[in-house]
Structure 1
Amino acid sequence: MNRSFIIAIVIAVLAVGWLATGVFRDEIAQAIEQPSGDGAAEAQAAGEGDAGDDRAERATAALTAPAEDREIMRVQTEVFEARPHAMEIGVRGRTESVRTVDLRAEAEGKVVKLYKAKGETVKAGDPIARLSTEDREARRLEALALIEQREIEYNAAVKLAAKGYKSETSVATARALLDAARAAQKRVAVEIEQLTIRAPFDGVIAVRPIQLGAFLRIGDPVATIVDRDPILIVGNISEREVGLVEVGAPATARLVDGATVQGTVRFISPTADASTRTFRIEVEADNAERRIRDGVTAEIQLAAGEAPAHRLTPAILTLNDQGDVGVRTVDRERRVRFRPVEIIADDADGVWVAGLPQTAEIITVGQEYVREGQTVEVARAAGSQDQRP
């Protein structure tokens, strides 16, 4: 169950009980202030007997009398020990592809073949589209022929230089012309290779705006490839909590469809967002079957170490006169003490709270009918030992 929902229910129940207690005290006080008449006639008109008047008087006396004159009330307590609790930080985020690349044309030409459509899966190196060769094949053959000519010229120059008929400068010139011819041939080969546009990695074609017959110039978009394995769950963590999380820490993400994903923290931004003062955090999770899509809303739970906490049932919680959530405890002198708590987590067995000492004797029955500093008679729950601080 959502933690915020449970906390809201607990606070609402406590608030109603708190208000009801105040109404009860006011009604009793008003009943005591009313002047009494001739006994039997007045009691019959009010619908109350002598026994009811006595109970009202005792209740009012217990609530309004000075501390030293109040009737000692009996409460039930139980001793609770703090236990290590794995702390978690909740962050709202979304899924995100680990890689997204926009493929663009590296050569000019008309689209003559499309190998893959939008939404199809591709492997690294798979062809996506091919552009027309135009005159590049002719230029390739021309470059090969020129290389052959330059090699003949160079070899002849070397032989003549060896016999003294050519200078070293002539040999160097022939060598430069041969290298230039080879470079021209490589440029043409690269252009021809670039006519086939290939996937740079395994992924899915998310966008493919080109159509058969379209003419592309260098830099025109061809397709967008996304890689969703692994998948990232990203969010922003506050500056107060960023120091509690480390790279490599385990994390759990609950997706909007109810699916739960386990992962690890792979990145925490070293700088805060200038507008929100929050830090980007990335959780990496396995998505080999690619069921998790990009952009899905997720609730991220980040492990933030351990801290001592008490597990309580929500019924034990109460409110003080200022509306603070807490529990009422009993000290060694059997005096009531209110201790505010912070609800840090919830599970099927109750809520985890922080703010109490290691050992706390908490009032489990009667906490709504006692006040701060009031002396009470304690009846401990079965199995509870006297370990009061």
Structure 2
Amino acid sequence: AIRDSLTSAEEALRAAQQSFEQTERVLARQRTLNQQGMISTQALEDAEVRRNAAQSELAAARARVVTARQQVTRTEIRAPFDGVVSERKISVGDTVQIGRELIKVIDPASMRFEGQISADRLGELKLGQPVAFRINGLGDTEFRGKLARIDASANATTRQVEVIAEFDDRSKAPQVAGLYAEGRVESADRRALVLAEGSIQRQGDTAFVWKVDGSQLKKV
């Protein structure tokens, strides 16, 4: 209804503008005819009265448009940042009271990964360590980040420590909050020998491989 009022006010403004321009043209002709003695002074004054009335109506129409536009502006809710609407708690036509929560907007740049790590591994963690994680529902896409916070205390029940990782590339962060994810912290790099599974031999609980040492085979 408010936008309809604006449309009506704009249409009335266009009509008032046309009416004013018409009375201006008539007044100009009446002045010329009056100077030539072809019409009376009263006719000229009548034309001036009609022009003044049209001018007043034009000013009033402009004021109504300004008011209508202000009312439309008040129907728009703008977040102070670019984001994604994650939850809407109102519907079209609802009456909104002061202080009522209307919608929730998520800033993609604020998205982060929150996880728990066993307190036994706390000594391996430090801020800035790389983190890789996958998010349920987003396939095999792997996201990269870095540890931004490590809680100073563990949960008394689970003995888990909460950690927070920020995305390396925030522009690629998911735009849906509250999803489950699994991640791993890259706490250290170690050099290791990669062997084909078939080369590993077992005797009871012992695993070994054969190594060529000169002209001999050695079990290692």
Amino acid at match of 1:280: E
Corresponding residue to 2:141 among 252, 259, 265: 259
Corresponding residue to 1:274 among 140, 156, 175: 156
Return the offset for 1:279.
0.9
Matched, 1:235 2:118: no
Return the offset for 1:241.
0.9
Corresponding residue to 1:226 among 102, 106, 113: 106
Q: What SS is found at the alignment partner of 1:288?
A: helix
CA deviation vs aligned residue, 1:188-224 (integer Å, no higher than 9, x gap): xxxxx99864313221111222234433333311111
- Structure 1's 268 and 214: CA in aligned 2 closer, same or farther, altered over 3 A? same
Q: Which has the larger radius of gyration?
A: 1
The aligned counterpart of 1:302 is 185
- Structure 1's 284 and 197: CA in aligned 2 closer, same or farther, altered over 3 A? same
Q: What SS is found at the alignment partner of 1:200?
A: coil
What is the distance in 1 between the residues matched to 2:135 and 2:176? 10
CA deviation vs aligned residue, 1:344-372 (integer Å, no higher than 9, x gap): xxxxxxxxxxxxxxxxxxx43xxxxxxxx
Return the offset for 1:381.
2.0
List runs of 5+ in structure 2 lacking aligned partners: 4-72
What is the distance in 1 between the residues matched to 2:110 and 2:203? 47
Show the 5 A alignment for 1:178-193. none
- Structure 1's 212 and 298: CA in aligned 2 closer, same or farther, altered over 3 A? closer
Return the offset for 1:309.
4.7
What is the distance in 2 between the residues matched to 1:271 and 1:232? 20
Which of the pair is proportionally richer in helix?
Answer: 2
Return the offset for 1:280.
1.1
- Structure 1's 281 and 194: CA in aligned 2 closer, same or farther, altered over 3 A? farther
Return the offset for 1:252.
1.5
Contact 2:84 2:175 in 1 (8 A): no
The aligned counterpart of 2:197 is 314
Contact 1:234 1:282 in 2 (8 A): yes
- Structure 1's 207 and 384: CA in aligned 2 closer, same or farther, altered over 3 A? farther
Return the offset for 1:307.
4.5
Return the offset for 1:313.
3.4
Return the offset for 1:225.
0.8
Amino acid at match of 1:276: T
Which of the pair is proportionally richer in strand?
Answer: 1
Corresponding residue to 2:176 among 289, 293, 300: 293
CA RMSD in angstroms, aligned pairs only: 3.6
What is the distance in 2 between the residues matched to 1:295 and 1:318? 46
CA deviation vs aligned residue, 1:111-151 (integer Å, no higher than 9, x gap): x78xxxxxxxxxxxxxxxxxxxxxxxxxxxxxxxxxxxxxx
Show the 5 A alignment for 1:1-389. 197-229=77-109, 231-256=111-136, 257-285=139-167, 286-289=169-172, 291=174, 293-307=176-190, 309-315=192-198, 316-318=200-202, 320=204, 324=205, 326-328=206-208, 363-364=209-210, 380-381=211-212
Sequence identity, in percent?
27
Amino acid at match of 2:188: G
Amino acid at match of 2:95: F
Q: What SS is found at the alignment partner of 1:240?
A: helix
Contact 1:230 1:288 in 2 (8 A): no
Amino acid at match of 1:288: S
Return the offset for 1:283.
1.7
Return the offset for 1:235.
1.5
Amino acid at match of 1:200: P
Contact 1:265 1:283 in 2 (8 A): yes
The aligned counterpart of 2:9 is none
Amino acid at match of 2:186: A
